[in-house]
Each structure stands twice: as structure tokens, then as C-alpha cells.
Structure 1
Amino acid sequence: MAIEDHKNPNQDIMPKSRRIRGVGGTEEEENQWPPWLKPLLKEQFFVQCNVHGDSSKNECNMYCLDCTNGGSLCPLCLEHHKDHRTIQIRRSSYHDVIRVNEIQMQLDITSVQTYVINSAKVVFLNERPQLGRVKVTNACDVCSRGLIDDCFCFCSLGCKVAGTSRSFEKVVKQTPTELESSNNSSGVEDSIPSPKSLTLSIPQVPTSTSLRKRLRKGIPYRSPLQ
């Protein structure tokens, strides 16, 4: 007598796209990027090295791709990473950039805006703050920063990581003009008073008596001729 294999109806089925606790994304999304990318984007560069603080070359502008949580490194720290993959972080207008020829061998930077700085192509690591919104034909899908070329969708590596996540929801920022129009349409009255509430104050013209406090003297008479 053959024994049939019956499935337990109460058995829990593990979904293919299992969410990892504490990460905020699915396992499939986490595997999309190398394990060193997100720590790289959160790292602080161009600070003094804690180990080689007495040296003149103690600025941390290097990063090891094989030591995920190794932190930023100074040139002297590379002695302990001879057989590892290391990249150099550079700066442009106080923002971290990396050269395209270094990062494109390790990461897919397709759709990320590239810039030419010091005769070399670079990409920004993270989003840059904007002083004001300017209407542009092509903007970053995440932070709405204007892009130079239409073939790009993101202004930085951080924006690409955020924009390609399934949980990403683009927030449309309203300009001051749009905020003002939305407030008026929602029934919020303007601070400018209506013309009916304005009272015209006509200045009073002083009377002749107020202008002349002293009475005018009488008509002078000439002394009789002698």
C-alpha cells in the first residue's frame, strides 16, 4: 500500500521576498547592492585618523571594500589592507565624490549623473542640500535636483539606492507660490484686509484762525509832513 505525502494545511509558507528585520527592505533588495555600499554612504570622510593623528598625512579619504565596517582610512592605514580593494574619496564643494573609473568596476552606476571635475568624471556619494527650487526639464527622481543630461535619473549613488527601493515614495515638495495658493483654496484668509474694512482718514485742513494765532496789526499810517 502506497503512502501518500499529504501537506499540512497549517504549515507556514515562507514568502520568497522575505523582509529582513531591522533593515527596512526585502532580502532581494539587500542582495541587489554589495554589502559595502550602504556603510560607505554613511561614512564620514576627511576627518583626522585616530591611529595616525601625529602624522602629517592623517586625513581619512580612503575606504576598504573588503572590510565592510572598517570605517574611513588614511593613507598610512593602507599598509594593513595591501591585498584588499580600496577606493579614494575626493571632495567637490565640500561634498564627497568618487571617480567613475574607480567605482564603475565595483558597482553599477547606470542612470547616475556624472560630472567632470579636474578633468576626471566623478559621481556624488549622497544627496546635496538645495537652497531653492528651480524649474528644470530633468530632475532627480528622489531629491528633485536638476540634472544636466536627460539620460540620467539620479544625482548621486545614495539617491539611486533610495529610488530603486520598493518602499520608496517620492515626496513632491511645494514651492512657496504653490503653498500660498493651496492655503487660499483651503479657506485660509489672507492677512491683507478687505477694501471695505479700510477707513479713509482725510486730514483736516487747519482754519485761518489756527494759522494766525496773532491778530494782524492795523494799517500803518505815515506821519504827517511837516
Structure 2
Amino acid sequence: MSYSSSVEIHGKVDMTIQCEKVIPEWLDGLLEKTFFGRCESHDFSKNDLNRYCITCDSSNCKYCIASGTHNDHKLLTIYRHVYQDVVPLKEIENHLDCSTIQPYKCNKKWVVSLKPLPHNGSGSHMDGDEACHVCKRKLNDFDRYSFCCLACKVQAFYERSKSSVATGMLTEGRDEVEQPTNPNKRKRSRKGVPCRAAI
């Protein structure tokens, strides 16, 4: 599913979802990648795939990065926190607005989870303002944050974009419908004369 696309309505582009300004195109690639497997290109110890190259849309190990093929590329380091993939807040903030995503502390660094963390949803799904707007997991600081992870923010943006396209189509359809010349006149006549019950 691509999050950066223009939507065609009636053969012309009437409305464009400008996701690049809010959700970068590479982010859905990052969310689909699997990290911490063994790198098949380098048969060394500690060759975990824990780097993501934004430019190449690929998961890499530290030896792939050191080889020089990713010089001048945009890179993210992936860590593990509660058995989930996380990215340092300082790194991801250079590419994406994370002000609505709740960060977590991992080895004295603030990180943002790629997908919902299990401890945040251990049977405590809830409705209301105290929960993530998408997955309903409890937020620690619900006054400041709306989402528990990057995936939830992307999903919320995609759903909002889809609903705005649908609203645009409805509005466009309403504009094309001719308004009746006499608003007081009925469109259809009554089926018959109403009969009142005799007392």
C-alpha cells in the first residue's frame, strides 16, 4: 500500500493527497522490513540487519554500511526494545515529525517504536483520550501524544486521507445535482389523499 499517491476523480486529478509533507514515501518500506536477521552478504559475527538505508529502501548490517556502498545515503539505526524494533528519536526526527508519537526510554536513549509494543497493550485496550487513536493501547502521556508507534500514525494518516477523498467525491457529486427551482414543491406527489380514521 503506497501512502504517496494522487487520487484521480472523474478522469482528472481533483484532489492530491500530499503525503510527502507528512508521511514520507519510504516509511511504508521501513515498516514492512524485517530486522535482526543474519546478513547473507557478510559471514561474520554480529552481522545482524540493524540498519535501514532510506535511499536504497534496504535493511543492512554494519559491514554493508562500512563497505562504502551507502556513502552519502540517509541511514537509520534499528534497536530492539521489548522484542520490538525501535528507532532513535533523534535520528527519525530528521526525516519525520514525531511530535504526536509517544517515545520510550531504551538504554538511556529516547526511541520511537515502529509497531505497537506488547507491554503497552497487555490486555489494557481502552477507549477515549488516554489511548492510542488507532490501536487503543494505553498511552503514558496522553496529553502530549496521540499514537504509540510509527505504524499507528501512518495508518491514521492513511485513513484520514481516504475519508477526505470520499468527502471530496460526495461534495463534488452534490455540486453536480441540480437544485430544484421551487424548494417548497415536492419532488414526488403523494400516493393518495390521506384518510383519517373515523371517531
TM over 0.5: yes
Q: Residues 16 and 112 (structure 1 numbering): CA distance in 2 closer, same or farther, change over 3 Å?
A: same
Paired with 1:121 and 1:140, the residues of 2 have a C-alpha distance of 19
- In structure 2, relative to structure 1, the CA distance for the partners of 1:45 and 1:133 (3 Å cut) is same
Count of aligned residue pairs for this structure pair: 146
Equivalent residues in 2 for 1:132-171 (5 A)?
Answer: 132-133=123-124, 135=126, 138-149=130-141, 150-165=143-158, 166=160, 167=162
What is the rounded CA distance, in whole Å, between the counterparts of 2:33 and 2:140 in structure 1? 27
* Higher strand proportion: 2
Q: Please, what TM-score do these two structures have when normalized by structure 2? A: 0.67
Assess if the C-alpha contact under 8 Å between 1:140 and 1:154 holds in 2.
yes
Moved over 3 A (4+): 29-32, 128-131, 134-137
1:121 pairs with 2:110 = yes
Matched, 1:102 2:91: yes
The answer for the alignment partner of 1:37 in structure 2 is 27
2:76 is the alignment partner of 1:87: yes
Aligned equivalents of 2:77, 2:90: Cα separation in 1: 11
Give unpaired runs (5+ residues) of structure 1: 1-11, 19-26, 169-226
Which of structures 1 and 2 has the bigger CA Rg? 1
Pair 1:31–1:106, CA change in 2 (3 A)? closer
Partner residue of 1:112? 101
Letter aligned with residue 140 of structure 1: C
Decide whether the 8 Å contact of 2:125 with 2:131 is kept in 1.
no
CA distance in 1, matches of 2:125, 2:136: 9
Q: Deviation string for 1:168-222 (max 9, x for gaps)? A: 7xxxxxxxxxxxxxxxxxxxxxxxxxxxxxxxxxxxxxxxxxxxxxxxxxxxxxx
**Which structure is higher in RCO with an 8 Å CA cutoff and minimum separation 6?**
2
How far off its partner does 1:160 sit? 0.4
- Structure 2 gaps of 5+ residues are 1-9, 164-199
Post-superposition offset of 1:135: 4.9
Q: Percent of aligned pairs with the same residue?
A: 38
SS in structure 2 opposite 1:164? Answer: helix
